Amino acid sequence: MSYSKIRLYGAGGHSQIIKSILIHNGISVTDVFDDDPALSHPNFDNIIISSRKRANGFPHKGDPFIIAIGDNKQRYEVSKFLKSEYSKAIHGSAIIDSSVKIGQGTVVYAGAAIQPNTTIGNHVIINTLASVDHDNIIEDFVHISPNATLCGLVEIGEGTHVGAGAVIIPEIKVGKWCVIGAGAVIIRDVPDYSIVVGNPGRVIKMKTGF
């Protein structure tokens, strides 16, 4: 379903890019909510102060939302708070095969390419000039950073952040809530909660959770 009006949750730098995509697509941003407007991007004004601790008073009903927050954990937490419909934001310059499946709340930035038979979950970020090849599976709350390259038959687990310029060779499975460092080259499977850096990528730390 397409919408003509969308609300944003989050008013940082990531949010202004999503707002730009929506305006480019002829979609109005009606309201912008943030838990701490004092930390918002200077290009935003009239931000509505929100608090996840006051869920009962929040206007959940209305225009659909996009959670405009770059941090995967924060996007996950807001999604558990919001009882609203979600929309997508896809830049017109992105190249997306007709067979690709894209979940709700997901955003695709300028110049990204997503190849056939790829499935992308909910609340995912495919950032500027990212390349996602054929038959990938990208689970919910993932962030694929600018210029990252995912070759064919790659799987990325929930909440994982693939850093700028990272490369993941074909048929690799990256677990959930991992961090793949900028420029890393991943040539073997990565277990859940790993922090990986370097070429070839090596696990330098295991997180205790997301």
Task: Specify the pLDDT at position 129.
Answer: 98
Distance (Å, whole) CA 161 – CA 158: 9
Instruction: Compute CA 151 distance to the chain's CA centroid, rounded to the nearest angstrom.
Output: 19
Say how many CA atoms lie within 13 Å of 178 toward its Cβ: 29
pLDDT higher than 60, residue 167: yes
Name residue 206's beta-bridge partners: 194
Question: pTM of the predicted model, to two decimals?
Answer: 0.94
The active-site residue out of 14, 91, 134, 161 is: 134
Task: Specify the pLDDT at position 60.
Answer: 87
Name residue 89's beta-bridge partners: 107
- 136 neighbors 155 (Cβ within 8 angstroms): yes
- 170 neighbors 151 (Cβ within 8 angstroms): yes
From the list 85, 39, 45, 72, the residue with the least C-alpha distance to 138 is: 72
Task: Specify the pLDDT at position 207.
Answer: 86
Q: What is the pLDDT of residues 71-97, one digit of tens each?
A: 999 999 999 989 899 999 999 999 999
User: DSSP assignment of the chain, as one string?
Assistant: ---SEEEEE--SHHHHHHHHHHHHTT-EEEEEEES-GGGS-TT--SPEE--GGGGGGS--SSS-EEE--S-HHHHHHHHHH--S-B--EE-TT-EE-TT-EE-TT-EE-TT-EE-TT-EE-TT-EE-TT-EE-TT-EE-TT-EE-TT-EE-TT-EE-TT-EE-TT-EE-TT-EE-TT-EE-TT-EE-S-B-TTEEEETTTTEEEEE-S--
Name the band, by pLDDT with cuts 50, 70 and 90, for residue 1. Answer: low
Q: What is the pLDDT of residues 108-165, one digit of tens each?
A: 999 999 999 999 999 999 999 999 999 999 999 999 999 999 999 999 999 999 999 9
Identify whether 14 is a catalytic site residue.
no
